[in-house]
Amino acid sequence: AQQPGTPLSDQEYHQFFMSLRAAGRASTACLLRMLYGCQNPLVQRLDKYENHGAIPEGPICSELPGNPFFLNFCTFSLYRCTRKLYFIKV
């Protein structure tokens, strides 16, 4: 088992986002995030699922070239949503 708060492995990410890819669910999840914020229970449940049960605290480094640093997971997730880069990992 992975440490709580760690990102999913590549295989786990593939499995996680397979369900979101169907029928534009990733954009729907982003719409929920933008409408209700990162404190919304459904949004937090998705964030926890994406990170082995715990939302990472503090700064986030991502696989994004040229923009690897975010103040927190919420900022990173909102960036992914606004740029429609739904499947970029931390």
**Boundaries of every domain in the chain:** 10-83
DSSP 40-88: SHHHHHHHHHHTTTSPPPS-EE-S-TT--EESSHHHHHHHHHHHT-TT-
Q: Is the pTM of this model over 0.75?
A: no
Kindly report the backbone phi and psi dihedral angles of residue 70, in degrees, each rounded to the nearest multiple of 5, phi listed first.
-135, 150
Average pLDDT, the chain: 84
pLDDT given at position 1: 56
Confidence band of 34 (pLDDT split at 50, 70, 90): very high
